[in-house]
Structure 1
Amino acid sequence: MAPHPSPFLDPGTCAANDTLGIIQLRRDHLIPAVLSSTTDSDYAEGKVENTRFGSFPHSTLINQPWGTQILASAVDTGSRGQKGKKRKREKDDEGDATPGQDAEESRRDLAKAVTASSGFAHLIPPTPETWTLSLPHRTQVVYTPDYSYILQRLRVRPGDHIIEAGAGSGSFTHAAVRSVFNGYSREQAAQPPQQIEDGDEARIGITMKTRKRLGHVYSFEFHKPRAEQLKAELEEHGLGALVTVTNRDVYHDGFCVPAGEDGKLAPDADVIFLDLPSPWLALKKLTRSLPSQAVLKAVSSSDPSTPSADTSATTPQLPAADEPFRSPLNPKGAIRICTFSPCIEQVTKTVSAMRSLGWLEIDMVEIMAKRLEVRRERIGLQEEGLRGANPSPASVHEAVQRLRDVEGRAHVFHSLQKEKQEVIMRRAEAKKRGEKVAPLKEELGDGKQKVNFEALPPSKHDRLERAKKDLEKREIFKEGRLVHRTESEIKTHTSYLVFAVLPREWSKEEEEKARKKWS
């Protein structure tokens, strides 16, 4: 099991070995990398992340404070691996090297990274937000604008148990773990008790007793390769003890999992999130008590795509009499659910099934997230050469004046060129007649005596120099118009969110007991 705490929960002050780090090249371009100091790589510098902004060996990233600007390194990408592969073949032929000796030799052979002339990136800690933007997409993911609203609307808090069906790429999984985390049990901690100090117990939340209900995420995925990949990623990220990934068809097999180490039944869920093609079929497995056959038929008949003649074939059968019914829900409180559906037809079927199964406070929401950029817009020819401005004419007067300046300097230039051409032609005719002519330079002169440069319009070089001098006295933060514009693109996709609440079961005995207590 990966060491705790996870960098998603407590990244610390610096990037550590064998933990996840995010290399930020641009605002919207992030690269995740599990940092490693080993030389199990084709490069002499060890593991290297090659990007369009340069190469970044992991040795230059480990033990660096989060937020540090990392300069690119000069890595030979053309002859990579030739010496390393040859050395490995020689060791394999000898057959007398032990794994410990190989590791020691690899550490000695690790080349020191040399800083390149250009290129840099920033090293930032992993969060659910940065992981969502950089994770390898196996399916369509739930982006930050959606899952942040979902977790807030479902009132997720530390200690809750969440059922997630349709894990996909694991974007919502990482966000859910952070929301429910309230510590590790002693059994979940990777270190043995004698290696955990008292200060560390308080820092990472290790609890000695099991009375406190620890948060947990129960994630279900139908596609086996995706489930295995998600489980491997969670182990790498140090979240394996907080998430139970199950490869299962929840439509038929439900959401119950074997009892945990404490003997309590699982998932014992407080919150449910369904990102499934047919969430109404999974709702039949999310009940507090055994539903009747009439209710199951009503739920199946609410599906418009199911012919009435085939209703009995699609209706789930009740479990056998010798099989005790087991609910995956927490019996001590109300259950909150959210379904994630891209089509309104799916919403219609889901709402019909919820009403048949006793869900209340049914509500549908569509997230239309927009990010507004507020800034000052400076327009005018006086902004030429300055950063963050639009050096175009702000009025007709400025445009006409600039044209006059350009034409005025062009007129002087062409007149000098014409005069020079006339002098050259006169010299040629004089040479034909055999007359003696003075040197061309003496006859033309430098031309400055004939041109009054102070009266000429300023050149582009003069304008740029004057703009730089004026910039020292200007208060740019007060100039221009205050404008706001919508961001061109934001990472999200349109879907319909259906929220509902399943109240706690209330018996007559409990009602009478509450009446006596609170009357």
Structure 2
Amino acid sequence: MPSPFFTRNTIADKDSLALLQLRRDQIIPTILRDHDDENQGYWEGKVTNTRFGSFPHSTLIGQPWGTQVGASKVDTGSRGRKSTKRKAEELDAATTPSGEEDANKKPLLRAPVAADSGFLHILAPTPEAWTISLPHRTQVVYTPDYSYILHRLRARPGCTVIEAGAGSGSFTHAAARAVFNGYPEAEQAAKRQRLGKVCSYEFHEQRVGKVQQELRDHGLDGMVEATHRDVYEDGFLLGDPITGKSPKANAIFLDLPAPWLALKHLVRNPPDGRESALDPESPAYLCTFSPCLEQAERTIRTMRQLSWLNISMVEVAQRRLDVKRDRVGLDTEGVRGATTFPKTVEEAVAKLRSDEERAKLIRDHRQTKDEPNYQPIVKETPFYKEKSNVPLYAQGRLTHRSEPDLRTHTSYLVFAILPRSWSEEDEQKCRKQWPSAQISKTDNEPPLSKKQMKKQAAIERAKLKEAEKQKTEQAQSESGDKTEAKVEEQTSEA
């Protein structure tokens, strides 16, 4: 099936992945179902419960992406559920064929009733949003890291990427989008179009199973091949570790505790006679992800021994800036996020005078509403509470602050390039195809146009003028030398 990460409709379809955004950094992933596949027992079908309310999937299916959906009233207690404590007669009846038929009958779904408050936004799946919402099984490679890594690895549509250490699948989804060049179908295979592929390897068997299930749910099982393997010992071949097929990778990302142990399998000619996992017709770009500086140093030493070039180390320290307007003053009373405090001495003095005048009026006119001569006290509006012509979004001082909690981790990225193997035959083919010392001239040259002829004539005239100018300058210099020689002779005779 087509993946919602690559090709999606304008609305949320059933049996597809959707991301439910509660806050900016709080997203819940879910598979939209029109039935209660988890047997929760709700009359409204499948329901996702959040801190902002309950949301039946019947209210989410068919909504355009980005729609704000309100919460619904759902009985989170016993409504719709079958009691676990049944009498002996019910247990006996359940064993009969009629009881089985009744159990297999699905309850009729009820229309959800809108709640008074609570809402969320339904978003289309993207690798960036999936990184925020995915279940954390290991250390996650966040968006600032994998965006820079894919840029340095030259990940592009049609290339093959090796990932060692799938973990939670954050980098896997981002790499799959970067190399996507079509779905692996028979028609495209006949055109000999190179489709992008991600070969992911993981040592932990349970994590591999969860990653494979997620890839099937997300429609990525045809573009991402997750394998349970110890790459330190078995390498990166597809299928059998010894006689398997080479993935012909163009880019490699190693998120391993000891990446230097896996570098022996990333060479052009493995010493054990296996097929190389790298593409022989293109250079290989490598990146290792290490949390400790000692790991990066040892990896660099091994890279130099295995002929890797252009080795560099980078530390990504990304921090988001929150830009907003700070409003300070007594006129901001009741405004969310504002500081209700006098911003000038004039405001503070005016506030004190206003309070004193009002207190004096209250003391002088101590009347109740029941008295016949009662007059309400008219409070004058101070100057700092007068309405301004400046719109609210432009009031206050524009400031920016860095986010207090940085959602990343210390990591050292080591990049390197392994050139393609180059033999004498390749050199001869290159020289024949692109001769550097020979200039081929065709006998049947096309005639020049009038514009080209005029341009060529102008160039020749300019050359003639330049030659005449040089001759005159040379003649003048020679005549000057002769006069100087005559003057010297006359002075010597005298």
| Residues 144 and 492 in structure 1, CA contact (< 8 A), matched pair in contact too | no
Give the counterpart letter for 2:76 in structure 1: T
Displacement after TM superposition at 1:508 (Å): 2.1
Q: 1:264 to 1:290 in 2, by over 3 A?
A: closer
Q: Distance in 2 between matches of 1:82 and 1:230?
A: 32
Displacement after TM superposition at 1:480 (Å): 2.9
**Alignment partner of 1:392: what SS?**
coil
Matches within 5 A, 1:188-337: 207=188, 209=190, 211-258=192-239, 265-291=245-271, 319=272, 324-337=273-286
Q: Distance in 1 between matches of 2:294 and 2:343?
A: 52
Which of 305, 314, 335 is the matching residue for 1:356?
305
Give the counterpart letter for 1:224 in structure 2: E
Displacement after TM superposition at 1:394 (Å): 1.1
For the aligned residue pairs, the C-alpha RMSD in angstroms reads 2.9
**Alignment partner of 2:222: what SS?**
helix
- Cα deviation per residue 1:481-505 (whole Å; 9 max; x = unaligned)? 2322223334222211111000001
Q: Distance in 1 between matches of 2:233 and 2:133?
A: 34
Give the counterpart letter for 1:234 in structure 2: L
Q: Distance in 2 between matches of 1:122 and 1:30?
A: 9
| Residues 165 and 254 in structure 2, CA contact (< 8 A), matched pair in contact too | yes
Q: 1:397 to 1:245 in 2, by over 3 A?
A: same
Q: Distance in 2 between matches of 1:516 and 1:33?
A: 58
Percent identity of paired positions between Structure 1 and Structure 2: 52
Q: 1:98 to 1:155 in 2, by over 3 A?
A: farther
Give the counterpart letter for 1:276 in structure 2: L
Please tell me whether Structure 1 or Structure 2 has the larger radius of gyration of its CA atoms: 2
- Cα deviation per residue 1:20-75 (whole Å; 9 max; x = unaligned)? 10111111111100111113322111111111110001111111111111110000
Q: Distance in 1 between matches of 2:173 and 2:91?
A: 41
Which of 391, 398, 415 is the matching residue for 1:475?
391
2:41 paired residue number: 42
2:405 paired residue number: 489
Asked if residue 339 in structure 1 is aligned to residue 288 in structure 2, the reply is: yes
1:128 paired residue number: 127
Please, which runs of 5 or more residues in structure 2 have no aligned partner? 437-494
Q: 1:46 to 1:94 in 2, by over 3 A?
A: farther
Q: Distance in 2 between matches of 1:208 and 1:446?
A: 96
1:308 paired residue number: none
Q: Distance in 2 between matches of 1:16 and 1:362?
A: 46
Displacement after TM superposition at 1:14 (Å): 0.9
| Residues 44 and 84 in structure 1, CA contact (< 8 A), matched pair in contact too | no
Which of 8, 22, 25 is the matching residue for 1:25?
22
Q: Distance in 2 between matches of 1:373 and 1:441?
A: 51
Q: Which structure carries more relative contact order (alpha carbon 8 Å, separation 6+)?
A: 1
**Alignment partner of 2:285: what SS?**
strand
Q: Distance in 1 between matches of 2:58 and 2:103?
A: 19
Q: Distance in 2 between matches of 1:487 and 1:245?
A: 36
2:96 paired residue number: 94
Asked if residue 375 in structure 1 is aligned to residue 324 in structure 2, the reply is: yes
**Alignment partner of 1:489: what SS?**
coil
Asked if residue 14 in structure 1 is aligned to residue 11 in structure 2, the reply is: yes
Please, which runs of 5 or more residues in structure 1 have no aligned partner? 188-205, 292-318, 421-439
Aligned residues: 428
Asked if residue 137 in structure 1 is aligned to residue 136 in structure 2, the reply is: yes
| Residues 94 and 100 in structure 2, CA contact (< 8 A), matched pair in contact too | no
Q: 1:365 to 1:477 in 2, by over 3 A?
A: same
1:431 paired residue number: none
Give the counterpart letter for 2:35 in structure 1: T
Q: Distance in 2 between matches of 1:264 and 1:160?
A: 20
Give the counterpart letter for 1:368 in structure 2: A
- Cα deviation per residue 1:307-329 (whole Å; 9 max; x = unaligned)? xxxxxxxxxxxx4xxxx421111
Q: 1:332 to 1:20 in 2, by over 3 A?
A: same
Displacement after TM superposition at 1:412 (Å): 3.9
Matches within 5 A, 1:330-479: 330-386=279-335, 389-413=338-362, 448=375, 453-454=377-378, 457-458=380-381, 470=387, 473-479=389-395
**Alignment partner of 1:133: what SS?**
helix
| Residues 237 and 244 in structure 2, CA contact (< 8 A), matched pair in contact too | no
Asked if residue 148 in structure 1 is aligned to residue 129 in structure 2, the reply is: no
TM-score (ref. length: structure 2): 0.80
